[in-house]
Amino acid sequence: MSILDYAAAELSRKIKEGKHTAIEAMEAVFERIGEKEEEYRCYITADRESALIRAAVVQRKIEAGELCGPLAGVPVAVKDNLCTKGVPTSCASRILANFVPPYSATAVENLEKAGAVMIGKTNMDEFAMGSTTETSFYGVTKNPVDPGRVPGGSSGGSAAAVALAECFMALGSDTGGSIRQPASYCGVVGLKPTYGMVSRYGLVAYASSLDQIGPITKNVEDAAYLLEAVASYDEKDSTSAPDAERDFAEALTEDVKGMRIGIPRDYFGEGLDAEVRKVVLAAAETLRAAGAFVEEFDLGMVKYAVPAYYTIATAEASSNLERFDGIKYGYRTGDFEGLHNMYKKTRSEGFGEEVKRRIMLGSFVLSSGYYDAFYLKALRTKALIKKAFDEAFAEFDLILGPVAPSTAPKLGESLSDPLKMYLGDIYTIAVNLAGLPGISVPCGKDKNGLPIGMQLIGDCFAEKKLIRAAYTYEKRKAGADAWAKIMRRS
């Protein structure tokens, strides 16, 4: 067994027991990166030397007894839209090429406090806008199961790195499904926390009212530990929740007895791949067998989520991305005539197609004369979607559904038809609009061997229920899979 086979918390235990060191773990990671990066391109920045220095510092602190948390010594990958002091942060965009932040995101500081050791910065869709990690200025990340397919996005680099063991765990960000969908496509666990659970300070904003940072890991236990490490109330983020429960590891118990799980019929209708449907419903059966009460219901409002999301998210993005102008940092065009021309050329050359499309769309919906018809209407729709979930959570503890309508598409298939790509977000984006937590847990494979994820959705700040159900499912499924293997052999 290779050191790379360990899950994060497992590795940390071995390091604390003295069986391995943080340095060995980091060396193994870079060996793996050396083997896989050329084909899969999970990272934008990964510097072996500085990572090993960081690992050595942490190792010393572990030996001195200064670091003893559940993730101490574990190499972690960080999505490239999280500011890291002294380490380039590009958001996979040309416009932030060579931008080195003078400060670290609160989530990154929290990682350091927990003793996790940063490997480098992972690839993503430019400014987190996309579902395939194909819009990165620094190349396309490939799906670990089938390099002819996309890893999902926008946190595709993080999800693929976890699946390829190019890291032990990773941070992603999720604005409309950007953690859960790539986790589903790559066969790993991805958790999008409640809005306000993790500080957004230092997360380069795409859509401020929807963005959340969350873990992408090999299993549910690691997700709980990693979330516990990064989640905090932060005075520097006005939208940070002061009183939320943040002791997630406590929820790592196998117990769903009496838990009420709702299955929205509207998530299993037209557009859902038959194989995905079958596998996700089988997962629901596993939870029922474990003692949960599972029932179908009508959620409603589902078809309005995509238009509401693309109105709100692009509006916010059009404003959030105004600061990238060639004046203060990042890319500036080579030659220009005056200020206006500099702005125009810098932004035309610095942003990619998808980002420009969303800036244009967002600028349009905020324009005078259109604001009420589009932006305000979208905000009202958002409130109605939240209401639909509130009604559902009056009945159920959790909602269970698919993460995406299909398994990972082939490279190049999605960008040619952006509208179709946007519709692929249908099961994930309502969760962001309502500010809810959601988790993607691997639950099977299609006939091509491509991973399928099940999504569990909780009420605001009900992460612990989410983790408990996901943990129970994962254990039961592992047991069942082992049994099936034995049965096949006999």
Residues 6+ apart with CB under 8 A from 375: 311, 312, 315, 365, 366
Q: Looking at the DSSP assignment, which residues form a beta bridge with residue 57?
A: none
Element (H, E) at 189: strand 189-192
154 in catalytic set: yes
Q: Looking at the DSSP assignment, which residues form a beta bridge with residue 76?
A: 118, 169
Q: Find the binder of other proteins among 82, 92, 186, 361 (CB under 8 A).
A: 82
Size of the site for other proteins (CB under 8 A): 44
Q: Find the binder of other proteins among 103, 247, 291, 485 (CB under 8 A).
A: 103
Binding to other proteins (CB under 8 A) within 326-365 occurs at 327-329, 339, 343, 363
Region from 14-22, 98-106, 186-194, 429-437 binding other proteins, contact rule CB under 8 A: 98-106
- For residue 483, state whether it binds other proteins (rule: CB under 8 A): no
Q: Find the binder of other proteins among 1, 17, 18, 102 (CB under 8 A).
A: 102
| Interatomic CA distance for residues 363 and 131, integer angstroms | 22
Q: Find the binder of other proteins among 238, 242, 270, 490 (CB under 8 A).
A: 238
DSSP 428-445: THHHHHTT--EEEEEEEE
Rounded to the nearest whole angstrom, what is the least distance from the CB of residue 9 to other proteins in the complex? 28
Catalytic-role residue among 12, 16, 36, 79 = 79
The nearer residue to other proteins, 218 or 358, going by C-beta atoms, is 358
Backbone CA torsion sign across 462, 464, 465, 470: positive
Rounded to the nearest whole angstrom, what is the least distance from the CB of residue 37 to other proteins in the complex? 25
How crowded is residue 364: how many other Cβ atoms within 10 Å of its Cβ? 15
Catalytic-role residue among 136, 154, 199, 318 = 154
Region from 10-18, 24-32, 229-237, 255-263 binding other proteins, contact rule CB under 8 A: 229-237
363 in catalytic set: no
- For residue 367, state whether it binds other proteins (rule: CB under 8 A): yes
**Per-residue burial over 275-314, b = 16 or more CB atoms within 10 Å of its CB, e = otherwise:** bbbebbbebbebbeebebebeeeebbbbebbbebbbbbbb
DSSP 69-137: STTTT-EEEEETTB-BTTB---TT-GGGTT---SS--HHHHHHHHTT-EEEEEE--SGGG--SSS-S-T
Q: Find the binder of other proteins among 70, 101, 115, 144 (CB under 8 A).
A: 101
Element (H, E) at 455: strand 451-458
Rounded to the nearest whole angstrom, what is the least distance from the CB of residue 317 to other proteins in the complex? 11
The nearer residue to other proteins, 36 or 347, going by C-beta atoms, is 347
Q: What does the binding site for other proteins look like in residue numbers (CB under 8 A)?
A: 81-83, 89, 91, 96, 99, 101-103, 105, 200-205, 207-209, 235-239, 315-316, 318-319, 322-325, 327-329, 339, 343, 363, 366-368, 371, 375
